[in-house]
């Protein structure tokens, strides 16, 4: 009898928890997120800044031929380190564009990086991202 009651209680508790989670779909599990960060290994931004990507962080860097830029490569870089704008340097933008992305937290809190990511994905599928190469504008898609 005890086992039956315990099972019933457990099922009720689990259902209640599932219901509670469902009704609060717009909040995030802070503990789970913090645990992920705790398990990660922290990188130094200066390590990223030293990546030997073409035209990165160097003044008067030569513009790239758009034929040398892989659309899928640009998209992949945007996905991994887009928050620092490194994909822009890969695509030939000279000067410290990475700094503008960094200080705006990925371009106005990540919105610019997200748009970059989407338009590069579309460009990669169409095999044409020439409009974004050697582009000195902060918003490369405008």
Partner 1 sequence: MGIGLRGLLPFFFVLLSTASLAQNRLSADVTTRQLNNGKSIRVERQVFYSTNGNMVVHYTYPQEYYMVTNRLGETSVYQPAANEVMQVNDHSMSTENEMLTIFLSPNYADLGLTKLGFVLSKVKKEGKDQIRTYTPTHSDDKAFKKVNVVCRDGKPIYCAFYDHSDHIIKKTYYSRYVEQSVFSFPSLITQISYDTKGDSIIRREEYRNIRTKDFPKNALFDYKVPANAKRVNPYGR
User: Which residues would be at the binding site for partner 1 (CB under 8 A)?
Assistant: 23, 26-28, 30, 33, 36-37, 39-46, 48, 58-61, 79-80, 83, 93-97, 99-100, 102-106, 108-111, 114-115, 117-119, 121-122, 136, 138-139, 141
Residue 69 or residue 113: which is nearer to partner 1 going by CB? 113
Residue 1 or residue 59: which is nearer to partner 1 going by CB? 59
Q: Name the nearest CA neighbour of 115 among 92, 85, 95.
A: 85
Contact status, residue 74 vs residue 116, Cβ threshold 8 Å: no
Contact status, residue 74 vs residue 140, Cβ threshold 8 Å: no
Stretch (H or E) spanning 108: none
* Shortest spacing between CB 10 and partner 1, in angstroms: 27
* Shortest spacing between CB 3 and partner 1, in angstroms: 37
Between CA 69 and CA 82 the distance in angstroms is 16
Residue 6 or residue 109: which is nearer to partner 1 going by CB? 109
Residue 14 or residue 99: which is nearer to partner 1 going by CB? 99
* Shortest spacing between CB 92 and partner 1, in angstroms: 11
Between CA 88 and CA 69 the distance in angstroms is 11
Contact status, residue 102 vs residue 131, Cβ threshold 8 Å: no
* Shortest spacing between CB 12 and partner 1, in angstroms: 22
């Amino acid at each position: 009898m005890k086992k039956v009651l315990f099972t019933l209680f457990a099922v009720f508790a689990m259902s209640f928890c599932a219901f509670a989670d469902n009704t609060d779909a717009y909040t995030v599990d802070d503990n789970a997120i913090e645990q992920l960060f705790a398990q990660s290994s922290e990188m130094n931004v200066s390590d990223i800044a030293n990546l030997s990507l073409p035209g990165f962080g160097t003044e008067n860097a030569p513009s790239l031929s758009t034929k040398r830029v892989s659309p899928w490569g640009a998209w992949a870089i945007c996905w991994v380190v887009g928050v620092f704008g490194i994909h822009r340097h890969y695509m030939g933008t000279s000067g410290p564009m990475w700094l503008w992305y960094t200080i705006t937290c990925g371009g106005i809190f990540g919105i610019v990086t997200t748009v970059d990511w989407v338009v590069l994905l579309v460009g990669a599928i169409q095999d044409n991202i020439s409009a974004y190469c050697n582009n000195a504008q902060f918003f490369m898609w405008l």
